[in-house]
Structure 1
Amino acid sequence: IPGFRQANFITEPSPRNTAPSLILSNIYLSRIDPDANVVVVPSDHYIPETNIFAAQMQDALNFADNRCIITCGIKPNAPHTGYGYVKFNREISSETGVTEFFDVIEFKEKPEMGVAKQYLAEGNYYWNSGMFIYKLKYFKEFLGEYAPYYFIQYTELLKVFHHKLSFYEIFCDIKPESIDYALMEKLPEVKMFKAEFGWNDLGSWSTVYQLKTKDDHNNVVERNNNILIDSENTMLFSTTDKPVAAIGLKNVVVINTQNGVLVADMKQLQRVKEVIRKLDEERDREVI
């Protein structure tokens, strides 16, 4: 990241999902400023309207003084089985600046298509963006009240912060869970605001396709040495110099990398996780 100091990166000793990773980050932050404000934002989101994003985040930080954790809801534009959902009370709970805050009723796991359609029809289910805003001191208090296992891990890691081997061993033994499951689903003090800024999740190739410039046939060809003939609604994305040619494709994504090639129907790209799971079972981590 240009202009971002290497010392500001915190690397997990072992991948343990979002609950342990947030605990790890918060421990480092607490050594710098125990009263720090925290904004958690996934790294694979595309937000073009940064001024609106910054204004809403500032409102959320101001509201976080009310001893709560705040999340950002994304209004669904279609039923989607690849995102979790946040169900919220339709009545405005309070306002700060230009941002309205709503009481969160519950977090929902990624649904089946029929359930996703129902959520869309009801109108008070938004996509769970994975963004969280809170005061550092309240996060630790909430762990103690609603996630005692992770509170114990938090305090144990603090004790051995300067002992790298002990820190590593304790962290690698922590139960891997998402912050949603470990804390947010149990926490009554959760508020949500509706994103007023444009948003896309770059965690899927379909989103990459949506954001790319297209030709007259809605094709995306990422490199000059790739060729598409008599095709439409198709993307050729390559990270190598090896040319890729395709003829007569429709609604297809072709991803060509040094370690492997993915060819998929545009409408079934959410199933890429099945490929990853199978490769993981076969321990082909180089391809993953």
Structure 2
Amino acid sequence: MAKLYPVLLCGGSGTRLWPLSRRGFPKQFVPFSGANTLFQAAAIRMATFVDAAPPVIVTNAEFRFIVAEQLGEVFIDPAAVLIEPDARNTGPAVLAAVLTLAASDPEALVLVMPTDHAIPDAAAFRDAVARGVPRAQAGKIVTFGIRPDRPETGYGWLELTTDPQDGLPQPLVRFVEKPKADRAAEMLAEGRYLWNSGIFLASAATLLDAFETHAADLMAPVSEAVRAARVDLGFLRLAPDAWAEARSVSIDYAVMEHAKNLEVVPYDAAWSDLGDWNAVWRETAEEDSSTITHGAVTQIDCVGSLLRSDAEGVHLVGIGLTDLVVVAMADAVLVADRSRAQEVKDAVASMKSNAVRQAEVFPRDHRPWGWFETLILADRFQVKRIVVRPGAALSLQSHVHRAEHWVVVSGTAQVTVGDSVQLLTENQSIYVPLGAVHRLANPGKVPVVLIEIQTGSYLGEDDIIRYEDVYARAEGAKG
């Protein structure tokens, strides 16, 4: 039997779930329930499937180390991690993954999955994929349709020839764009329509034929981007010049809506794209009056609401709330009517237009060596908490506009300032003058936690000159 390769797409921004999901740290990397993030759950979902190969990941440079870290936490070694030079939507992303797989395994089966969906019953999902495998091997592109339980207007729908029967594959008549409420109610009543999950399965050969037939203009630039890709610390960076020549288009518009060899496997178990906070509430609420809490929350007489605190040291209290979403973080708070949850994206757009930092910047900034968060930011000074993982090291660097004071809170730090290298332990501190070449490393077995106080005329993360870096980043904020 041909091997099945999950292709995991994880480059989206998820602004409807602001403030927990932002451009700098989108929803696929967040744990909404349980210990694993949505991305980790997607990677784990197919790990035990018969003849499943390691996944291929398609992401961008900003998320590459988050991807590597989160896969390592669940002990999954990917077949490849492709880095997009810039966002070109899902059409070029899928084609790049398929070309990469076809070069090493021409018989590959490809299962394309977004990584920001909630699919709690992994076994039921694997069963659905197993029902689609024979049809994919027979040259079909198999989509997975979710049996609807409400007249949803936020999803695309799939029209079938007859009512779905026993989860068996059947021909797709057409895709239906997100409908108006009255049409969604009609489709729900008719019974032969399913929600479009955005997940599909086909052989690499079938998909390449489909691109050649329906989106031939993508073949040359994406093929060249894959051919000229370079390996970078275990990642595969697609060639930027060729990639820039590919038009930005979704896989649905490029291929799926034109192909004639599509079939649908009905899926009856729980599924959600977690497209907004109302969907998050719906995923866990047992009835309309349920109030869902997460984190440090006290609620009294609240009905049909979602109350969530993701800020260390912030306790959220709700009294007499009905059908509200309240999400508290260290730097931002959302209060919204659940029925208007999709408008959060409009609020984010408004904040971006007004240069509000919280619109896109996540309070905890993840780096390949660990993470930091800003505790205080004021004129000419900033206070951060920095956590460095065991065995990790920041780059050897200097700053043009700021000096730094480091105070070790826990662990043992190896600190380089100029020609001096020393170990600092709990309650010890050091001063890094403006312009001094310096580095912070963790030679120990436990995380290093320290407080950094920056002073200077400019405190931006792009004030970094790197001289050496084990993570091969360039100058600037993240490289």
Higher strand proportion: 2
**Match runs of 1:196-275 below 5 Å:** 196-212=268-284, 218-224=290-296, 226-241=297-312, 242-275=314-347
The alignment status of 1:144 with 2:212, answered yes or no, reads: yes
The alignment status of 1:131 with 2:168, answered yes or no, reads: no
Amino acid at match of 2:197: S
**Match runs of 1:3-22 below 5 Å:** 3-5=75-77, 8-22=80-94
The SS at the match of 1:22 is helix
Q: CA deviation at 1:254?
A: 0.7
The SS at the match of 1:127 is strand
Change (3 A) 1:278 1:86: farther
Amino acid at match of 1:194: P
Q: CA deviation at 1:128?
A: 0.4
Q: CA deviation at 1:145?
A: 1.0
**Match runs of 1:78-227 below 5 Å:** 78-90=150-162, 99-162=167-230, 167-212=239-284, 218-224=290-296, 226-227=297-298
After superposition, what is the alpha-carbon deviation per residue over 1:184-228, rounded to whole angstroms, capped at 9, x for unaligned?
01111111110133222223322322344779x62222123x232
Please give the alpha-carbon distance, in whole angstroms, between the structure 2 residues aligned to 1:286 and 1:34: 46
Please give the alpha-carbon distance, in whole angstroms, between the structure 1 residues aligned to 2:315 and 2:95: 45
The SS at the match of 2:182 is helix
Tell me the TM-score normalised to structure 2 length: 0.54
Tell me the TM-score normalised to structure 1 length: 0.87
Q: CA deviation at 1:257?
A: 2.2
Superposition RMSD in Å: 2.8
Please give the alpha-carbon distance, in whole angstroms, between the structure 2 residues aligned to 1:229 and 1:146: 56
Please give the alpha-carbon distance, in whole angstroms, between the structure 2 residues aligned to 1:280 and 1:106: 37
Amino acid at match of 1:146: H
Please give the alpha-carbon distance, in whole angstroms, between the structure 2 residues aligned to 1:252 and 1:108: 31
The SS at the match of 2:168 is strand
Q: Which ranges of structure 1 fall in alignment gaps of 5 or more residues?
A: none
- Say which is worse superposed, 2-11 or 80-89, in terms of deviation: 2-11
Contact 2:131–2:169 (CA under 8 A) maintained in structure 1? no
Change (3 A) 1:212 1:71: same
Higher helix proportion: 1
Change (3 A) 1:52 1:214: closer
Contact 1:91–1:102 (CA under 8 A) maintained in structure 2? no
Q: CA deviation at 1:27?
A: 2.6
Q: CA deviation at 1:247?
A: 2.5
Please give the alpha-carbon distance, in whole angstroms, between the structure 1 residues aligned to 2:279 and 2:178: 18
After superposition, what is the alpha-carbon deviation per residue over 1:43-63, rounded to whole angstroms, capped at 9, x for unaligned?
122223222221221221221
Q: CA deviation at 1:37?
A: 0.7
After superposition, what is the alpha-carbon deviation per residue over 1:110-149, rounded to whole angstroms, capped at 9, x for unaligned?
1222222222222222110001000011111111111112
Contact 1:107–1:180 (CA under 8 A) maintained in structure 2? no
Change (3 A) 1:61 1:188: same
Amino acid at match of 1:73: G
Amino acid at match of 1:152: A
- Say which is worse superposed, 134-143 or 191-200, in terms of deviation: 191-200
Aligned to 1:32: 104
Change (3 A) 1:153 1:99: farther
Contact 2:117–2:271 (CA under 8 A) maintained in structure 1? yes
Aligned to 2:43: none
Contact 1:70–1:134 (CA under 8 A) maintained in structure 2? yes
The alignment status of 1:43 with 2:115, answered yes or no, reads: yes
- Bigger radius of gyration among the two: 2
Amino acid at match of 2:204: L
Please give the alpha-carbon distance, in whole angstroms, between the structure 2 residues aligned to 1:153 and 1:283: 35
Q: CA deviation at 1:100?
A: 1.4
Please give the alpha-carbon distance, in whole angstroms, between the structure 2 residues aligned to 1:165 and 1:122: 47
Aligned to 1:58: 130
Amino acid at match of 2:140: C
Q: CA deviation at 1:284?
A: 4.7
Change (3 A) 1:30 1:278: farther
Aligned to 2:459: none
Contact 2:142–2:201 (CA under 8 A) maintained in structure 1? yes
Contact 1:19–1:178 (CA under 8 A) maintained in structure 2? yes
The alignment covers a number of residue pairs equal to 283
The SS at the match of 1:46 is coil
Q: CA deviation at 1:22?
A: 0.7
Contact 2:302–2:321 (CA under 8 A) maintained in structure 1? yes
After superposition, what is the alpha-carbon deviation per residue over 1:76-103, rounded to whole angstroms, capped at 9, x for unaligned?
11111111111121178xx9xx751111
